[in-house]
Amino acid sequence: MTDVQKGLEKVIALETKISYIDGERGLLEYRGININELVKLTFLEVSHLLIFGHLPNNDELEDFFNQMHDNRDIDDEVLNLLKICNFNIEGMDALRTIISYLSHCDQDLNDNSMTANIRKATKLIAKFPTIVAAFHRISELEDVIHPDPSLSHGANFLYMLKGFRPKDIEARIMETDFIISAEHELNASTFSARVTASTTSDIYSAIISGLGTLKGRLHGGARLAVMEMLDEIPSPDEAEKYTLDLISKKQRIMGFGHRVYKTHDPRGLIFKKLAIQIAKENKDMTWYDTAQKIENTVFQEIVEKKNKPIYPNVDFYAGVMYKYLEIPPLLATSVFAIGRIAGWLAHCIEQYGDNRLIRPRARYIGEHEIHLRK
């Protein structure tokens, strides 16, 4: 029998045309386009690329934008459901609940045709930021802010979250965050979504599978953990001691390491540049300097001394950016989901298009032929 690969490490489970990772070179592409080029676009352009397989022309982009505008808002029934949520929960839990409810209201729910799934995909991309922002506003006893059709996806989210238009740099950072978060090959949440889709269950169920998986702290929940770690460090001067203590106790340093990348995560490098930009804009280097001290200590103690390739991943400097953007920590993972929904949907549509039930085997290592007492 084939050797067991714990965590399915290095196992090739399927073929895809959606994204490509070269972990040795630190390379990430969406449909053949490098992530460093993609961040020059808008999130809607990148979403169109992922779902339809090509960048939109002007007419296609206008049509896609109009569909987003038409589907962004949420009705009173959804708002009433948000009002009865436990406000101490993470935004992910509220988002998961609302997506499950929205499936009940969609006449295309059990139609897995390409046309129907494209319609559902557009609705989901449009509504994710509105749901997350509305949940936060309601939990803070503030009026819900409805979408502004003149704003980009990233700017709109910050506007709905805070009640005022963001600065240009803040809007650009949020837009870039959604683009970088959108897709990353067969990560845990994407795999769980594809497994659900492979059963020919509906696309809402597949997305709910992705949401549940993304929440974990070894996946998207790491951003929340990074923000909590930053809060535990009183000042940049204390960061080295804090990090050395974690290393000596062999505890996980949140936001570091990746199963695939053996060098710098290209997403993390982009986020680091944005983090220092927003720090300088805010005239407050505290969070950035703390993060830099953590990174330097990890590099000296683990990369240089132990020759282990442990570098910041996508979550580390994303957590720093969220601190400067004043994203509430309990929303951190759901903000990640606002971007990742585009990739999940692309993978589900690809799975439906050439489907085979995903059903791996397990190697049994227990006892055999145990006889019950008479």
Positions annotated as catalytic residues are: 219, 258, 315
Helix, strand, coil share (%) of the chain residues, nearest 5: 60, 5, 35
Label residue 121 exposed, middle or buried (CB < 10 Å: 0-12, 13-18, 19+).
Answer: buried
Cα separations in angstroms, 145 against 83, 136, 267, 298, 337: 15, 11, 31, 42, 20
Return d(Cα 286, Cα 238) in angstroms, integer. Answer: 11
Which residue in the block uniquely carries the two structure tokens 């000296």?
A: 300
Decide if 171 contacts 154 (C-beta within 8 A): yes
Residues 6+ apart with CB under 8 A from 305: none
Q: Which two tokens stand for residue 356?
A: 């085979």
Decide if 30 contacts 180 (C-beta within 8 A): no
What does the CA dihedral 277, 281, 286, 287 come to, rounded to 10 degrees?
Answer: -50
Cα separations in angstroms, 142 against 5, 37, 41, 92, 129: 49, 38, 33, 20, 17
Return d(Cα 195, Cα 188) in angstroms, integer. Answer: 11
